[in-house]
Structure 1
């Protein structure tokens, strides 16, 4: 094996190793490597629930804005009872 082939082989091995580490979530920090767990993020789930609640409220407000006055009063009462 000539030196050029050896350099290409080393670069290829290093590239493949870094792709495999990235795929499995291994991150280098300091002297060692640690595995990052990929799973549901509680903060993201909380934000999704909050966005869903806000979308529901906006839908109610849009319906209130387009309905007649009697329907408006009924919806306000429903909202007061729910909160």
Structure 2
């Protein structure tokens, strides 16, 4: 049996196994990196969706309040209340002048 051939064969097997294990390790790291990246992108998308939803809710609340204010301003009863308050203010101003 040729010992040089056996040693060369063992060397080739060792080199192949080291190369295979190194490539496998790099592949695992690459897959882990891609999974982490996708997970972070999903979290970012959820956060943006939540911000948009929150923004829409705030806009809706402001619109609701504005509608209420418009109703108060255009309500004829509110106009009457305003006139009554003006009359009260004039009456109290006259009382202060007298004193």
Point out which structure has higher relative CO (alpha carbons under 8 A, 6+ apart).
1
Greater helix content: 2
TM-score normalised by the chain length of structure 2: 0.33
The structure that is strand-richer by fraction is 1
Larger Rg: 2
TM-score (norm 1): 0.38
